[in-house]
């Protein structure tokens, strides 16, 4: 086999999310074609570009660039949990009493307090512990024009694409174009059809999220002789970064609800109020969302 032909027709479905066996096969073929295209063409060529000492390739009107990306990533949930544990230990009066003189101080009428600087320093230490920096190379490919017609058929040579040549670069670019069209006109529409179908079957959707005692909502449908499993899951996601940002900002700005006390130029804050404030921000900053699972 000297050549491979990739082609598709747009996925079609009714307003109720129904589709026939032929369209289901279009989706299954699309999933397979993308995996083959990635393994045979796109990934091998990109690996060669990334391994090269060069950072730019110009083939007449086709220009490729290798960009070095860098991103800082913080595990905010872990930061929250460790800071909460730090405060929990000190919010217990019997434990706090043992720590007086080690960053804690007792004020009549207020209770056990901790130096604001100690909390800020502990936060910085915890954040540093759970923060890492990732670096990677990314190949920048030309973006398609907005008025560009969908590429629904692509014939490519069945060979290795591990050499950096103009011919290979143009074939890989065409594969990127084909994948983008395939995703938009088949994969995304298949997903939308199943979402609409589940909504019609159950009344629940990503715009009408089921309550916790109903989630997950799930159904199985039969298309021809094959089954499709569709599930909608309610997700409650605490926004840990937002919670901690608001918490630390309140400390730095001396918000009254923290019940501050000052002695010998050192600013203290009531530990129990501090912990309650953290919990209040947690309750306030939990986002309700949803996630679909569609198999296959």
Q: Where are the domains of the chain?
A: 3-66+133-202
Backbone angles phi, psi at 203, to 5 degrees: 85, -5
> What is the reported pLDDT for 260?
79
Among residues 154, 196, 169, the alpha carbon closest in space to that of 16 is found at: 196
Give the DSSP per-residue string, 137-164.
Answer: EEEEPPPPPTTPPP--EEEEESS---S-
pLDDT 10s per residue in the chain (296 long)?
799 999 999 999 999 999 999 999 999 999 999 999 999 999 999 999 999 999 999 999 999 999 999 999 999 999 999 999 999 988 887 676 666 666 788 888 888 889 999 999 999 999 999 999 999 999 999 998 888 999 999 999 999 999 999 999 999 999 999 999 999 999 999 999 999 999 999 999 999 999 999 999 999 999 999 999 999 999 999 999 999 999 999 888 876 666 678 888 888 898 898 999 999 999 999 999 999 999 99
Distance CA 66, CA 54 (A): 8
For the chain, how are helix, strand and coil distributed in percent, rounded to 5? Answer: 45, 30, 25
Q: Which two tokens stand for residue 47?
A: 């690996």
Phi-psi region for residue 295, left (φ > 0), alpha (ψ -120 to 50) or beta?
Answer: beta
Phi, psi (degrees; rounded to nearest 5) at 132: -135, 160
Element at 180 (helix H, strand E): helix 166-182
Distance from C-alpha of 52 to C-alpha of 55, rounded to nearest angstrom? 8
Residues whose CB falls within 8 Å of the CB of residue 231, separated by 6 or more in sequence, listed in order? 216, 217, 218, 292, 293, 294
| pLDDT at site 97 | 67
d(C-alpha 106, C-alpha 242), whole Å: 31
Q: Do residues 212 and 234 lie in contact, with contact meaning Cβ atoms separated by under 8 Å? A: yes
Measuring CA to CA, how many Å separate 221 from each of 28, 29, 61, 174, 224?
16, 19, 48, 35, 10
Q: Is 22 in contact with 1 (CB distance < 8 Å)?
A: no
């Amino acid at each position: 086999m000297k050549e491979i032909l990739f082609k598709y027709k747009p996925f079609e479905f009714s307003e109720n999310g129904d589709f026939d066996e032929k369209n289901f096969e279009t989706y299954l073929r699309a999933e397979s074609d993308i995996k083959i295209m990635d393994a045979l063409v796109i990934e091998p060529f990109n690996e060669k570009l990334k391994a090269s000492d060069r950072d730019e390739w110009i083939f007449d009107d086709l220009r490729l660039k290798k960009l070095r990306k860098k991103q800082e990533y913080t595990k905010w949930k872990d930061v929250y949990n460790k800071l909460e544990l730090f405060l929990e230990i000190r919010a217990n009066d019997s434990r706090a009493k043992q720590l007086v003189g080690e960053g804690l101080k007792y004020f009549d009428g207020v209770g056990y307090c901790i130096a604001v600087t100690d909390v800020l320093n502990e936060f910085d230490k915890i954040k540093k512990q759970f923060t890492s920096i990732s670096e990677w190379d990314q190949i920048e490919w030309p973006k398609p024009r907005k008025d560009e017609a969908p590429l629904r058929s692509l014939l490519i040579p069945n060979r290795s694409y591990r050499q950096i040549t103009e011919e290979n670069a143009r074939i890989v670019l065409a594969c990127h174009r084909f994948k983008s069209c395939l995703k938009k006109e088949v994969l995304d529409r298949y997903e939308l059809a199943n979402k609409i179908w589940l909504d019609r079957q159950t009344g629940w959707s990503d715009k009408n999220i089921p309550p916790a005692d109903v989630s997950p909502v799930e159904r199985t449908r039969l298309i021809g002789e094959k089954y499709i499993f569709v599930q909608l899951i309610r997700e409650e996601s605490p926004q840990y970064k937002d919670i901690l940002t608001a918490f630390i900002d309140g400390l730095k700005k001396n918000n009254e609800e923290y019940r501050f006390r000052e002695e010998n130029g050192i600013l203290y804050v009531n530990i129990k109020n501090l912990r309650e404030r953290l919990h209040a921000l947690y309750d306030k900053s939990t986002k309700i969302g949803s996630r679909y699972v569609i198999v296959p």
